[in-house]
Amino acid sequence: MTTATVSEHARPPFWRDERVLAVIAQIIFLIVVIVVAAYMYSNMYHELSRRGLKPGFDFLKLEAGFPIGETPIPYTPGDTYARAFLVGVVNTIKVSVIGIILATILGIVIGVARLSTNWLLRAIATVYIEIIRNTPLLVQLFFWFTAVMLKFPRIKQAIRLPGPIYLSNRGIAMVWFKPTESFSLWLIFLLAGLVVATLVFRYRSHYQDRTGNPGYPWIFGSATWLLFALVGWFLVPGAPITVDKPVLAGLNFKGGARLTPEFSALLVGLVVYTAAFIAEVVRAGILAVDKGQREAAKALGLTDFQMMRYIVFPQAMRVIIPPLTSQYLNLTKNSSLAVAIGYPDLFNVAGTIFNQTGKSIEVITLIMGSYLSMSLLTSLFMNWYNRRVRLVER
């Protein structure tokens, strides 16, 4: 009898049992979510059927029929909507990857400049950061596009910078490398060189670790690779790459690398904007390294460079990587502002597809899916890198 009373005491009535309440609360929450979603879906369904539209992705196989200004992969208006969308995705990836690389370099330079002992340099870096971070990116993009890129002189009077690099209102044309037929053969040498160089690098660092004598692994490794490249250069028939200079032919430049004003404005805008944020991330990361670490490095007699290379940077990296990742993601997402200046990124192309087909849900699903997968891939890569540089805690 006593046990029964105890268990009665231990078990409150079900309407006051927390576990039961939790389940009930969740079921109610789920029902509310489902009802709202179903209501919205039925509204949408009726509206769409009223307009005579059937949901589905079949339209992707239809002919797109619109031209795209920049096509890194072959595309003609006769291709399908799927192909057009793919061109947009490739354009987004192109501007994001180049943008991330350049923004990282510029950001590190400015971040280090902000910590410089030189007062003037520090002031320049601070002013740069405060101006760029406190104005909207879209305003900056419009500025770069309409007030800089389109204000360059006409193509006949293009500004010539050393290189040569030509600036005109038709975009930027610059000297670039052009692979010849023997390039693939040379590529084999480069790859073989990379493998051997890695082995040499491993061996020299192992030697350094074992004996304590400087092994110069970086110098030996790159020298090996350069040697392979040089030997390959002379062994393959003809030069594997040639320097391709842009020349004025008719109404535009021929040869070299030619960037449209839209792409240039977007790239410059994204790089300049994101670099200001990366600079702050880098600065915070370097400042986060304990002062004692620097003092210890000095006491060991390391040079300034060695101190930065072996003591400060490896530790700063741990602090820098997570916020840096979110800056990379921001840059990728911000590239969608391309639509404002007419660069055919994925959002822009998808917008055109929507205007032509009226397939709202499908197009938005495609856009969101693409951005989500790019975000996911970037995060995965950066998490993998973060695990590599992370401090192994006790």
Query: Which residues in this chain contact another protein in the complex, by CB under 8 A?
Result: 22, 25-26, 29-30, 33, 40, 43-44, 46-48, 116-121, 123-124, 130-131, 133-140, 142-143, 146-147, 151, 333-334, 336-337, 339-340, 347, 351, 354, 360-361, 364, 367-368, 371-372, 375-376
Number of helical H runs and strand E runs in the chain: 14, 8
Query: Which of 236, 349 has the CB closer to another protein?
Result: 349
Q: In this structure, which long-range contacts are made by residues 110-115, counting pairs with CB atoms below 8 Å and at least 24 apart in sequence?
A: 110/275, 110/276, 110/278, 110/279, 111/278, 111/279, 111/280, 111/281, 111/282, 111/283, 111/286, 112/282, 112/286, 113/279, 114/279, 114/283, 115/283, 115/286, 115/287
The DSSP bridge partners found for residue 244 are 176
Q: How far apart are CA 34 and CA 42, in angstroms?
A: 12
Q: Kindly report the length of the chain.
A: 394
Q: How far apart are CA 235 and CA 187, in angstroms?
A: 12
Minimum CB distance to another protein, residue 9 (Å): 17
Minimum CB distance to another protein, residue 225 (Å): 31
Minimum CB distance to another protein, residue 313 (Å): 20
DSSP structure class, residue 80? B
Query: Which of 241, 339 has the CB closer to another protein?
Result: 339
Query: Which of 136, 153 has the CB closer to another protein?
Result: 136
Query: Which of 174, 349 has the CB closer to another protein?
Result: 349
Minimum CB distance to another protein, residue 53 (Å): 10
Minimum CB distance to another protein, residue 120 (Å): 4
Closest CA to 241 of 228, 232, 249: 232
Query: Which of 233, 354 has the CB closer to another protein?
Result: 354
Minimum CB distance to another protein, residue 161 (Å): 16
Q: Is the preceding peptide bond at 322 cis, omega within 30 degrees of 0?
A: no
Minimum CB distance to another protein, residue 24 (Å): 10
Query: Which of 164, 351 has the CB closer to another protein?
Result: 351
358-386 b/e (C-beta count within 10 Å ≥ 16 → b):
ebeebbeebbeebbeebbeebeeebeeeb
Query: Which of 293, 360 has the CB closer to another protein?
Result: 360
